[in-house]
């Protein structure tokens, strides 16, 4: 931290129509005139890897979408035990339109850029525009389903299955479609451990074991390769049906 060059990470917000998350984020169902309203409301803001965006309980005067990069939602107990409860990737929505305090700590897992709206303005938009509210509802219900899937992982899977499940998720969401498929892990081993309810050492051992068993390949610290996603899915005990 000390010695880090202080820089302005605010960016001029580009046009919504050229936005990489235009068709997946909260704005997916908006018409051109509504996009104009959004463009007048929105602000882009970026954080460097490792920076804390908000602490648990802090006032969070914004809501918004991840445009690029990756951030984590975590909760901590007084003795330091920490659990990740959300992994934010591009197009994911952050914050509650009806609450002004963050229930979770939000940290930049990589350099990350958000498209933000002031809470009060966004709340008005939601009330004026039923299809935006419905979009928000749909995205919230999808997140709830993801959280429940994750509860299965945390409650019942072995360490090997947990690690395989996380890798499958990341490969599915971010992999290139060349063969073997390849993805860049947005998480350190520590963040993976916090995600999975494990320790760093166990994550590391399971990664090594999956590589030894020929299920994945490792390229440096962050690169993962997979020649047979179905085999890795089987290891994760994920139902074949998508």
Partner DNA sequence: CACACCAGTTGATCGACATCAAGGCGCGAC
Partner DNA sequence: GTCGCGCCTTGATGTCGATCAACTGGTGTG
Piece in contact with a copy of itself (CB under 8 A), picked from 106-114, 134-142, 207-215, 221-229: 134-142
Tell me how far, at minimum, the Cβ of 158 lies from a copy of itself, in Å. Answer: 10
Q: Is the peptide bond before 180 cis (omega within 30 degrees of 0)?
A: yes
Query: Which residue number, 81 or 173, has a Cβ lying nearer to a copy of itself?
Result: 81
Q: Give yes or no for residue 202 binding DNA (CB under 7 A).
A: yes
Q: Give yes or no for residue 200 binding DNA (CB under 7 A).
A: yes
Give how many residues touch a copy of itself by CB under 8 A: 40
Residue 218 binds which entry of a copy of itself, DNA, none, CB below 5-8 Å type-dependent? DNA
Residue 205 binds which entry of a copy of itself, DNA, none, CB below 5-8 Å type-dependent? DNA
207/216 Cα distance (integer angstroms): 8
Q: Which of 207, 210, 224, 238 binds DNA (CB under 7 A)?
A: 207
25/36 Cα distance (integer angstroms): 16
Residue 201 binds which entry of DNA, a copy of itself, none, CB below 5-8 Å type-dependent? DNA
Residues that bind DNA (CB under 7 A): 158-160, 188-190, 197-205, 207-208, 218, 221-222
Residues that bind a copy of itself (CB under 8 A): 73, 75, 77-79, 81-83, 85-86, 96, 98, 103-104, 126-127, 130, 133-134, 136-138, 140-141, 143-145, 147-152, 154-156, 196-197, 237, 239
């Amino acid at each position: 931290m000390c010695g880090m060059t202080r820089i302005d990470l605010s960016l001029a917000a580009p046009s919504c129509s050229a936005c990489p998350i235009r068709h997946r984020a909260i704005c997916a169902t908006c018409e051109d005139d509504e996009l104009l309203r959004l463009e007048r409301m929105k602000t882009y803001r970026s954080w460097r890897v490792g920076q804390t965006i908000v602490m648990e309980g802090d006032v969070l005067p914004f809501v918004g979408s991840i445009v690029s990069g990756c951030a984590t939602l975590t909760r901590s107990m007084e003795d330091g035990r920490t659990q990740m409860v959300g992994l934010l990737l591009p197009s994911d929505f952050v914050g509650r339109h009806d609450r002004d305090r963050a229930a979770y700590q939000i940290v930049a897992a990589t350099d990350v850029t958000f498209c933000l709206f002031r809470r009060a303005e966004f709340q008005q938009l939601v009330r004026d525009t039923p299809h935006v509210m419905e979009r928000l509802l749909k995205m919230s219900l999808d997140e709830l389903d993801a959280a429940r899937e994750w509860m299965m992982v945390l409650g019942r899977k072995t360490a090997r299955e947990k690690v395989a499940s996380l890798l499958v998720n990341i490969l599915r969401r971010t992999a290139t479609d060349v063969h073997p498929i390849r993805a860049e892990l947005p998480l350190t081993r520590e963040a993976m451990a916090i995600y999975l309810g494990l320790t760093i050492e166990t994550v590391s051992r399971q990664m090594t074991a999956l590589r030894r068993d020929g299920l994945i390949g490792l390229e440096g610290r962050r690169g993962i390769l997979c020649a047979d996603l179905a085999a890795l899915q089987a290891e994760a005990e994920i139902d074949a049906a998508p």
